Amino acid sequence: MRAYALNDQTGVHQIDAVGLVCPLPILRFKKRTQGLPSGTEVEFLADDPSGRRDLQALCEITGHRIEWIREENAGVLRYRICLA
């Protein structure tokens, strides 16, 4: 998967931060979502052990909402986030 892609079938933006370690996954998320409108759905993939805590903190600050979290293969977590 590319670092950033729009899934044409679902209209959901996808951000791949697998293999990156703190603080890079959150920085990538912030950069890729900057300028996207409120209500945009984003799927964020990360495997950094501190990523879940960092993403939850970012969402609390920004008002983004984590819709769900799913565990993928090899410790990768897939987050669905609705942007504020």
Judge whether 66 lies within some domain: yes
What is the pLDDT at residue 8? Answer: 52
What is the pLDDT at residue 1? Answer: 45
Of residues 5 and 65, which shows the higher confidence score? 65
| Beta carbons within 10 angstroms of residue 80's beta carbon | 15
What tens digit of pLDDT does each residue of 22-70 get?
999 999 999 999 999 999 999 999 999 998 999 999 999 999 999 999 9
Q: Which domain holds residue 12?
A: 4-79
Distance CA 56, CA 41 (A): 16
What is the pLDDT at residue 7? Answer: 57
Separation of first and last alpha carbons in the chain: 25
Q: Is residue 82 flagged as an active site residue?
A: no
Task: Give the CB-side neighbour count of residue 49, counting CA atoms within 13 A.
Answer: 0
Indicate which residue of 5, 12, 22, 24 is catalytic.
22
pLDDT at residue 80 greater than cutoff 70: yes
Judge whether 28 lies within some domain: yes
Judge whether 58 lies within some domain: yes
pTM for the model stands at 0.86
Judge whether 38 lies within some domain: yes
Number of domains the chain is built from: 1
Give the CATH number for residue 75: 3.30.110.40
